[in-house]
Amino acid sequence: MIKTRFTEMFGIKHPIVQGGMQWVGRAELASAVSNAGGLGILTGLTQPTPEALTAEIARCRTMTSQPFGVNLTILPTLKPVPYMEYIDAIIASGVKIVETAGNNPKPFLPKLKEAGVKVIHKCTSVRHGVRAEKEGVDAISMDGFECAGHPGEDDVPNLVLLPAAADVIKIPMLASGGFADARGLVAALALGCDGINMGTRFMATKEAPIHQNVKDKIVDSDERSTALIFRTLRNTSRVYGNSIARKAIEMEHEGKGIAEIGPIVSGQKGKVVYETGDLEHGVWSAGTCMGLINDVPTCKELIERIVSEAEQMINARLARMVA
Ligand code: NAD
């Protein structure tokens, strides 16, 4: 067992959290991660309405009795999102863990705190982590440049970002971006964190509710297989480097904006990739840690493997190096 401030605060067995991935963070995956002793996360905006999120939370409850959380990402979207109504649905459903991401969580904190909800804020820079801590979140998930999805615009990888953050952030902190195995967990603990957040690694599990082609592609790909789209829009997103991502980058270089690029990169098209396995239908998020993923285990096998190998690494390998 690896006990940390994060496992203690959130009442979970292992310091491993599943990232709130759009279209992937559904009850099948969140419950499997929580049942395996990690912290599963439902992705709020994967559900088209707050009412649908309420139903998904209820469905997840039928699949696990362990704690799970809900991610709410606040970033530019093609259609407006009623964020506060999603927050109300989460609170009314009795979920006690929320992961906010993408923007300052301040507007949501009074309601969440009043309802006794613990908030993990995911951010991509030290300054945003410090600000969220001051505003009263309970934990930080620090997301380095390696990550899938939105890494921010500073491009600082985790070898520097995490210890720089750990120097100034006092509340428990997760390491996010690039984590896929026991070496990553041990490194995260050494860099000053209290656990890891994994997204892409959990996509390549038996329970992830996505097409087998996506899982196989993650296994077959390496650390160079991603692309960064939306750099010119200052809303950078790391996605799988397919023909649609290359087309979007080409359009950006031609000076085109979201009105022209939006139709090919929309989340609705990405959803079809996960449903049908047509990997070129749209853009889909994937991180550089694809270079570390070589199999499709169950969540239980994956989490137990990471924790037992990490314990072995700490006890047998690292401890023996101390003369
Ligand atoms: P969407 O279909 O609304 O938009 C597709 C992409 O275009 C997203 O990356 C979005 O940020 C970007 N975009 C939209 N309008 C933009 C604008 N005006 N300027 C710059 N970029 C713009 O998004 P979706 O796939 O339905 O996802 C819904 C939300 O969830 C988005 O904010 C998205 O970024 C976010 N997201 C979250 C995760 C996660 O892990 N939580 C993963 C992927 C996407």
How high is the pLDDT of residue 215? 99
Q: What is the pLDDT of residues 176-224, one digit of tens each?
A: 999 999 999 999 999 999 999 999 999 999 999 999 999 999 999 999 9
CATH 3.20.20.70 in the chain, residues? 5-210+296-320
Return the ligand 1 atom nearest residue 73 CA.
Answer: 41
Question: 175 forms bridges with which residues in the sheet?
Answer: 142, 196
Quote the CA–CA distance of 4 and 12 in Å, as a whole number.
10
Pocket test for ligand 1, best of 22, 229, 251 (most atoms within 8 A of CB): 22
**Is residue 58 within 6 Å of ligand 1 at its C-beta?**
no
How high is the pLDDT of residue 111? 98
**Is residue 285 within 6 Å of ligand 1 at its C-beta?**
yes
Residue 144, helix vs strand vs coil? coil
CATH class of the domain comprising 5-210+296-320: alpha beta
Task: Report DSSP state, residue 147.
Answer: -
Backbone CA torsion sign across 240, 242, 245, 249: positive
**Is residue 22 within 6 Å of ligand 1 at its C-beta?**
yes
The number of residues making up the chain comes to: 323
Backbone CA torsion sign across 51, 53, 58, 59: positive
Q: What is the pLDDT of residues 37-90, one digit of tens each?
A: 999 999 999 999 999 999 999 999 999 999 999 999 999 999 999 999 999 999
Quote the CA–CA distance of 275 and 273 in Å, as a whole number.
6
Angle, vertex CA 272, rays to CA 261 and CA 141, nearest 5: 75
Quote the CA–CA distance of 37 and 84 in Å, as a whole number.
30
Of all protein residues, the one whose alpha carbon is nearest to atom 27 of ligand 1 is 267
Q: How far is the CA of 7 from the centre of ligand 1 (A)?
A: 30
Pocket test for ligand 1, best of 77, 153, 260 (most atoms within 8 A of CB): 77
Where residue 17 falls among pLDDT bands split at 50, 70, 90?
very high
Q: What is the pLDDT of residues 282-299, one digit of tens each?
A: 999 999 999 999 999 999
* pLDDT above 70: percentage of residues in the chain: 100
**Is residue 230 within 6 Å of ligand 1 at its C-beta?**
yes
Where residue 231 falls among pLDDT bands split at 50, 70, 90?
very high
* pLDDT above 90: percentage of residues in the chain: 100
Average pLDDT across the chain, whole number: 98
Question: How much is the CA Rg of the chain, to the nearest whole Å?
Answer: 18
Average pLDDT over residues 99-109: 97
